[in-house]
Amino acid sequence: MHRLRHLRAAVALAVLAPAVLVFLDFGRLLPAPVGPAVARLQLVPAIVRLPALGAIVTLVLILAATLVAGRVYCSTLCPLGTLQDLVIRLGDRWARRRRFRFRALPPRRLAHAAIAAAAFALAVAGSQLVLGLLEPYSAFGRILASAVRPALAEAVNGLSRALAAEHVYALQPVVRPGFAWDALAVALGSLAAIAALALWRGRLFCNLLCPAGAVLRLAARRTVLRIGIDEARCNACGVCEKGCKAGCIDAARRRVDFDACVGCFDCLDVCPHGAVRFGRFPPAGGRRVDPALRPDVDPGRRAVLRTAALAPAALLVPAAVRAGAADPRDARAPVTPPGSLARDHFTARCTACHLCVAACPTQVLRPALLAYGAAGLLQPRLVFDRGACVYDCRRCAEVCPTGAIHLLPLPEKRLVQVGRARFVKADCVVETKKKACGACAEHCPTKAIAMVPYPGGDPHLRIPEVNEEACIGCGACEHPCPTLPRKAIWVEARSPHGVAKKLAREKLEAPAAEADFPF
């Protein structure tokens, strides 16, 4: 095997392993910086994260590498690229198909650029609907977070229960991922589409739909080193073209469209004459593809149609913001995680990679198809049926690769008001049954909920009272509230987020050390 191909495969697998494991790391066994590191090296998340210094460094490194050696990014750092390669390899093996079955594809530069431009333009306008759907890291993340992780969790918990029945507690049950049918459907749908494209036409996704590929293509037009065909050695046998999953080699014309090359270096291996080389070649100019091969549809028009087809989705308004619902609890706006500053800030930057969804220890952070309407697809929000946002936790911000969730210092994070608790006295157990409850006040980490005497009741009976200044909207009250069918205390979203005031308290008197027991 050619050493470059060898190197490419080794780097790709070295990147893929932590990229996968970070989504499945229930026990947090991965060293802290490893998982998010892969996410932070991703092109589109870095573009979205601009102008952060780390994002600039990432982009400069990727662009420099591309200007030197072409789109090596697409076959090493991009986990969706590696995933496609694995699909092609396994698919061929399973179908006992020969490896050399590809053919030169029209470059479709305009179509690719148009789709990417539309995706980025929509993102700049505040909607991640298209960029989030096509961005390769996020598409990859959603597959792992919504399909693989829940399946693995069920397997682990099944085994854990079986062991616990034998009093073996070595394998602890894991938090069941907040499973969502819509997220699973999108994840499996995109996996099926990407796999089908890969099996049919190799890396067509990367050369038509991928926004990262479109950006890198621009840089890969003129590079220092490139794949070229040594005309003196080539006998135009065509094996390189058939082995090229990017469809960028036209063997008959001995031309390589290097901007479409994904840097897999497979072709270096297949040429029996050593005519395909990686080195200094003049850029291939002009049109490579025989006009007869060109499809008679206009790719630009196709891109416009594709964008137009996605537009109705952008017009969908979630039930949450429908006006005139009878109870505000049934029509609440989504609560965004602490550090996301405001709804607009969050939705303009979240590409829905679901790294935060996988990392969230209580699964309070969960995606919904159009929770934010046209602003994005499957962007997560806080839902309190399974748990609350942990007071001392910043996992979502630690892993977020796009800057949608900022990592605030912990004392600051503890004061971020993502929402405010709304108390519906008429539904509270104390009001309806005249019995003590107070689950909300127990769980409140800032003690923004006080239990105050219930007028006219038993002297021990107390009812919650919310102090809005101290409330951070974490949902620690809503989660344990026992009332049915609706919670008597619920979190109303705040946007932009506010800053809570810590509860003022008097200093406690230390008890006298020598005092006797009072009984």
Interface positions with other proteins (CB under 8 A): 157, 160-161, 164, 167, 169, 172-173, 175, 361-362, 387, 390-392, 429, 433, 435-439, 441-447, 449-451, 458, 460, 462, 480, 482-484, 502-503, 505, 507-511, 513, 516-519
DSSP 422: E
| Contacts of 287 by beta carbon, 8 Å cutoff, 6+ apart | none
174's CB contacts (< 8 A; 6+ apart) are 26, 27, 153, 156, 157, 160
Closest approach of other proteins to the CB of residue 57, in Å: 34
DSSP calls for 335-348: BPPTTS-SHHHHHH
**Least Å distance between CB 349 and other proteins?**
27
Pairing of strands 416-423, 380-382: unpaired
Instruction: Give the nearer residue to other proteins in terms of CB position, either 14 or 32.
Output: 32
For other proteins, the closer of residues 9 and 365 by Cβ is: 365
Q: How far is the CB of 508 from other proteins (least distance, A)?
A: 6
**Smallest distance from the beta carbon of 515 to other proteins, in angstroms?**
9
Tell me the Cα Rg of the chain.
28
Instruction: Report yes or no: 75 and 5 within 8 Å, Cβ to Cβ.
Output: no
Cβ 154 to other proteins shortest distance, Å:
12
Nearest CB to other proteins, comparing residues 197 and 437: 437
Of residues 211 and 387, the one with the C-beta less far from other proteins? 387
Nearer to other proteins, 125 or 513 (CB): 513
The CA distance from 178 to 359, in Å, is 11
Residue number, 371 or 437, with CB nearest to other proteins: 437
CA distance 481 to 428: 9
Judged on CB neighbours under 10 Å (0-12, 13-18, 19+), 284 is buried
Amino acid identity of residue 475, one-letter, is G
Shortest Å, Cβ 350 to other proteins? 24
Give the single-character DSSP code of 144. Answer: I
Residue 452 CB, shortest distance to other proteins, in Å, is 10
Cα–Cα distance for residue pair 82/74, rounded to 1 Å? 8
Q: Rounded distance, CA 221 to CA 67, Å?
A: 8
181 vs 519, which CB is nearer to other proteins?
519
